[in-house]
Amino acid sequence: MGGPRRLLLVSNSTLHGGGYLGHCQEHIKSFLGEKVKRVLFVPYALHDRDAYARTARAKFESLGYGLDSIHESCDPVEAVRKSEAIFIGGGNTFRLLKALYDNSLIQEIRKRVLEDGIPYMGSSAGTNVATISINTTNDMPIVYPPSLQALGLVPFNINPHYLDPDVKSSHMGETREERIRQYHEEPNTPPVLGLREGAMLLVEGDKATLQGVTGARLFLRGKKPTEHEPGTDFSFLLNDSNFQNL
């Protein structure tokens, strides 16, 4: 197929008051277009892969796309090689990344997306693994992947489900912003884009645009975080040389 990378990185699968992928279904249709007929679904982030595949299949069929779940294939690598588009769903990021390594899919997915140009969609954990690493996931390490390094489809990290501090809360635990700041206390850590629920990042080649109904918060090492509304051009985040000295 060939062509520039095309990514739709969604913060969450379900938005309060709506159904599965309901808040982003028009974005999905626009992103996949008419050329894609079938989507390869990766349900590794949840334990019950059969039930997860049924949910995803029902949604994508309602949008006019067939869906094959990779866990139903006897050869996951070959399934990736033959795929027209890939969707990795949410769940536990550590479980997901371990399964990608266990099935030798990291380099295969990178090749299909970055070299062959097939569309990649992720939600929640599927968005986490699209980045450099899963260091900024919100999940518990219930299993241990061989590395925290992920697909590296973009040269920065994302924190899905980003939560702003609740000024009325008496909770004394660390805020999401404090945890990201701790991450940036370590040397050579890349930018982190905090995607609130309802937000998503569309990447087309060297252009990245914030979409959805909510905004995002951008964290750069050594700098104050900045607030961004839907429509923001984040293309500069795709040039990793901008951050090598941060």
Instruction: State the catalytic residues.
Output: 124, 139, 161
Any alpha helices (H) in the chain, and if so which ranges? 25-32, 49-62, 76-82, 93-102, 106-110, 125-128, 176-183
Positive or negative torsion for Cα 148, 56, 160, 92: negative
Pairwise CA distance, residues 7 & 18, whole Å: 23
- The answer to whether 160 and 124 are in contact (CB under 8 A) is yes
Q: Which residues pair with 195 in a beta bridge?
A: 216
On the 0-12 / 13-18 / 19+ scale of CB atoms within 10 A, 122 is: buried
Nearest by Cα to 124 from 82, 81, 95, 164:
95
Residue 200, SS3 per DSSP:
strand
HEC-encoded secondary structure of 17-78: CCCECHHHHHHHHHHHCCCCCEEEEECCCCCCHHHHHHHHHHHHHHCCCEEEEHHHCCCHHH
